[in-house]
Every structure is written in structure tokens, then in C-alpha cells.
Chains A and B, each alone.
Chain A
Amino acid sequence: GAGVSQSPSNKVTEKGKDVELRCDPISGHTALYWYRQRLGQGLEFLIYFQGNSAPDKSGLPSDRFSAERTGESVSTLTIQRTQQEDSAVYLCASSRQGGGGETQYFGPGTRLLVL
């Protein structure tokens, strides 16, 4: 079956512009995660959606970052007024129910470069 997909695969933007990243999780997966990896650093948790529960936004680095998810389907991560330090690979992952012992399935990522 189809895996997690993300778009765009690459995005170059100018400082101060807004960007929107999209994630399509595996069908039937109720949990969806956003992570990012900045150059030379590990994967960093951003936000977690689980079914209809309120999302865990504790990893969002600033109020310029926001994310939405419609039901148990597509999610969008929006970065407003982008800064150069936002340059990173943004990864989306999904899992069946969100349990800690479940495998998370990752998309190919969006490589964001802020000039």
C-alpha cells in the first residue's frame, strides 16, 4: 500500500515569506507526527496529532509555527515569516494508534531552504 507522502520535496523561500508543507499519512493511521532535522543536529519533535484529541504542540519552536490536521487524513505545517534558522528537513510520520511501542512510518521529507 501507499506509504507516507510529503510535498513539496524541496522548497526554497526568501526570509520573511510564509511556507506550507503537506503530509499525507498512511490510510487508517490515527497518529501523525512532525519532526525536523537541522544541519548537524538530530531529529527534533515538533507536533503530534492523535485522533480527535487536542494536538501536542510542545515541540513547536515558536509561534510562527502551526499545524493542522483534518480528521485522520492530511496535515499541513505552516511556518510564517520564515527565518534562516528554519532551514531544515521536515519529516512527517504516522502510526496506527500512537502508542510508544508502535513503529512510526516516515515520509521522504521536505527540504526547506530559507535564503
Chain B
Amino acid sequence: ILNVEQSPQSLHVQEGDSTNFTCSFPSSNFYALHWYRWETAKSPEALFVMTLNGDEKKKGRISATLNTKEGYSYLYIKGSQPEDSATYLCAFHTGRRALTFGSGTRLQVQP
């Protein structure tokens, strides 16, 4: 059984704060690490797909890093805005079967 863990479970920050979350995954049989944002009543939206150790990806104020040797990825949000409020999911892929998701980090940004 693959174990993907995310921390913290939830986070409340003020508008303008920067924040980061952690995703831990098995360091063996790694193929790809996915990050998704899931807003209430909407579809999960892909943020990043990361495949190489040391990968860093950026999309606007959101960026992510990947360490496949130690089995973790960080997602950073710079200058959080209320519209960033969502659940952030990471998912691990071995190259076979389907994604194994973590339970997510629920972010609430207060104006």
C-alpha cells in the first residue's frame, strides 16, 4: 500500500502571508508527483506534474519543489490571496496504475 501524507491538514492565514505545505511519498518506484488545487464545488485543477529530482516549477505566485531521494515535495504560495482558498492535493505515481492521493491541505486565506 502506497502512503502519501500531507501536512498540515489545514491552515488559516491572512491575506498577504506566504505559506507552504509538505507532501511525503515513498522514495522507491517514483515516476511522478502531481499537485492539484480543489476549490469547493469545482473540479480539481492541475497545478504541476513533477518528474525529476530537484525539479522546481512555478505558476504565478505558486511554486513547488521535488526531492525524490528523500520522498518529499513542498508547495509554496507567495502573498496568499482569498482566491487561493482551496484544498491542495498531492498525488504520487509509480508509472503503473493510477494516482495515489494524499488527504490534502485545506487552506483558508482571510481578507
Contacts and interface: CB of A to CB of B under 8 A. Distances in A.
| Chain B interface size, under 10 / 10 to 19 / 20 to 34 / 35 or more | 20 to 34
Task: Give chain A's interface secondary structure class.
Answer: loop
A102 B96 CA distance: 12
B60 interface: no
| Chain A interface size, under 10 / 10 to 19 / 20 to 34 / 35 or more | 20 to 34
B71 interface: no
Interface in B63-106: 89, 91, 93-104
Interface stretch (A11-19, A39-47, A63-71): A39-47
Contacts of A44: 101
Given A42-B89, A100-B94, 19 more contacts: A3-B43, A42-B102, A42-B103, A43-B101, A45-B98, A45-B100, A48-B97, A48-B98, A59-B98, A91-B44, A99-B95, A100-B31, A101-B51, A102-B49, A104-B34, A104-B99, A107-B43, A108-B41, A108-B43
Interface of A: 3-4, 33, 35, 41-45, 48, 56, 58-59, 91, 93, 99-109
